[in-house]
């Protein structure tokens, strides 16, 4: 058996232990990108090594397997790569003004390291220091939003408890903040960070509103609860737009010239994009989204090496700003 296959089986065993619900065949297929037959073989191999593995059927009649939490601990060892990745993620949060999340990640890293034996920690420390020093994180240019960590903490608690909040919000063009009652659903992080909230008026629960986090001047969590819309999915909601601004999704078609195609292939413009390679070396990308102003900001960097096929409104928007393309920095 190749070392990679052995690593996969160990990772599957750890997944079976760390999940309180257990791991299904579908989970294994998605985790390791394998066929159903291979997933069954992997499951059987782990169960042979860990006969104490438990099989259960969940409420959807899906079979799941888990390993009792006391079984795997003695085999668990951290790698310098894993710890360095946590450190880089914390720095990335800090760079985007999300200091609360950065602090939580560093706390998690410390707790994880505390489970390691002294000898193991001493062995990985030099490699960890070398990786942290070698894997620098490029600073994001320009300003970053200023967010009050106490506000963010209160909003996160309200989201978990499904409690309506009253926020003091200073909207666009307003000199003074106003009280807004909001059913908080989640956050969208980008060049500016937003709270996504639902309406609290009767019959308006399905409405969605955005509030810029840096313009929230106070948060009060009420005792009034709300019922989350079971059809609402934050990730799907975010994918309807190119950026943060919500617009009705429209068909987007951009054609990159042969000169820019290789560079364009290094980008994922949208999670649901479809790429077509032209016989002339060009590349066409298609997806559905709103947020044309943010698309225009992005397209500016490609200059005259991208043609907006659709929509016409976006083509008209960028026409005055088209410049000669000198390549990506």
Domain ranges of the chain: 3-75, 80-134, 149-238, 250-321
Q: What is the pLDDT of residue 284?
A: 95
Beta bridge partners of 212: 194
* Diameter over CA atoms, the chain: 68
The hierarchical CATH code for the domain 3-75 is: 1.10.10.10
Q: What is the pLDDT of residue 205?
A: 47
Q: What is the pLDDT of residue 165?
A: 94
Q: Tell me if the domain spanning 250-321 has CATH number 3.30.70.
A: yes
Could you tell me if residue 70 is left (phi over 0), alpha (psi between -120 and 50 degrees) or otherwise beta?
Answer: alpha
The hierarchical CATH code for the domain 149-238 is: 2.30.30
Q: What is the pLDDT of residue 204?
A: 45
Q: What is the pLDDT of residue 109?
A: 80
Q: What is the pLDDT of residue 202?
A: 53
Nearest to 193 by CA among 238, 137, 244, 150: 244
The pLDDT tens digits along the chain (329 residues) read 455 677 788 888 888 887 778 899 999 998 888 899 999 999 998 888 887 888 989 888 899 998 886 655 555 566 777 777 788 788 778 766 777 888 888 888 877 776 666 666 666 777 666 666 566 655 554 556 678 888 988 898 888 888 999 999 988 777 788 999 999 988 887 667 888 888 775 544 456 788 888 889 999 999 999 888 888 888 777 776 665 566 788 899 999 999 988 888 878 888 788 999 999 999 999 998 888 888 888 888 888 889 999 999 988 888 877 777 766 55
Which helix (DSSP H) or strand (DSSP E) does residue 275 occupy?
strand 274-277
* DSSP symbols for 166-230: EEEE--TT-SS-EEEEEEEEEEE-SSS-EEEEE--STT-TT-EEEEEGGGEEEEEEEEEE----T
Nearest to 25 by CA among 65, 72, 68, 67: 65
Residues in the chain: 329
From residue 106, give the alpha-carbon distance in Å to each of 5, 11, 102, 103, 296: 31, 23, 6, 5, 37
* DSSP symbols for 120-138: HHHHHHHHHHHHHHHS--P
Quick one: tokens of 202?
């009767």
Q: Give the CA angle between residues 13, 14, 16 to the nearest 5°.
A: 65
Beta bridge partners of 183: 198
Contact in structure between 20 and 68 (CB atoms under 8 Å):
no
Quick one: tokens of 44?
């059987």
Buried b (16+ CB within 10 A) or exposed e, 140-159: eeeebbebeeebbebbeebb
| Long-range contacts of 319-327, Cβ-Cβ distance < 8 Å, separation of 24 or more | 321/296, 325/259, 325/260, 327/263
Q: What is the pLDDT of residue 245?
A: 60
Record the pTM: 0.52
In degrees and rounded to multiples of 5, residue 294 shows phi and psi of -70, -30
């Amino acid at each position: 058996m190749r070392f990679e296959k052995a690593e996969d089986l160990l990772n599957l065993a750890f997944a079976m232990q760390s999940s309180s619900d257990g791991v299904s065949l579908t989970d294994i297929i998605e985790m390791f990108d394998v066929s159903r037959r291979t997933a069954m073989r992997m499951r059987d191999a782990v169960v042979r090594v860990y006969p104490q593995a438990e099989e259960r059927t969940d409420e959807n009649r899906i079979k799941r397997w888990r390993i009792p939490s006391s079984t795997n601990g003695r085999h668990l060892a951290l790698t310098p790569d894993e710890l360095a990745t946590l450190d880089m993620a914390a720095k990335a949060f800090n760079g985007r003004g999300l200091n609360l999340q950065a602090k939580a990640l560093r706390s998690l890293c410390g707790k994880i390291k505390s489970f390691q034996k002294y000898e193991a920690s001493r062995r990985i420390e030099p490699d960890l220091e070398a990786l942290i020093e070698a894997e620098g994180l490029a600073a994001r240019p320009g300003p970053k939003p200023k967010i009050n960590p106490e506000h963010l903490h209160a909003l996160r608690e309200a989201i978990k408890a499904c409690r309506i909040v009253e926020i003091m919000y200073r909207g666009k063009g307003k000199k003074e903040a106003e009280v807004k009652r909001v059913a908080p659903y989640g956050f969208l992080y980008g060049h500016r960070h937003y709270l996504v909230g639902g309406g609290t008026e009767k019959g308006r629960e399905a409405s969605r509103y955005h509030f810029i986090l840096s313009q929230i001047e106070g948060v009060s969590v009420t005792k009034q609860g709300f019922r989350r819309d079971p059809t609402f999915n934050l990730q799907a909601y975010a994918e309807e737009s190119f950026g943060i601004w919500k617009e009705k999704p429209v068909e987007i078609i951009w054609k990159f010239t042969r000169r820019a195609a290789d560079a364009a292939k290094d980008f994922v413009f949208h999670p649901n994009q479809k790429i077509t390679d032209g016989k002339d070396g060009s590349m066409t990308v298609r997806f559905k989204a709103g947020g044309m102003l943010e698309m225009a900001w992005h397209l500016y960097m490609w200059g005259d090496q991208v043609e907006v096929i659709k929509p016409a409104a976006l083509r008209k928007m960028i026409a005055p700003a088209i410049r000669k393309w000198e390549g990506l920095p």
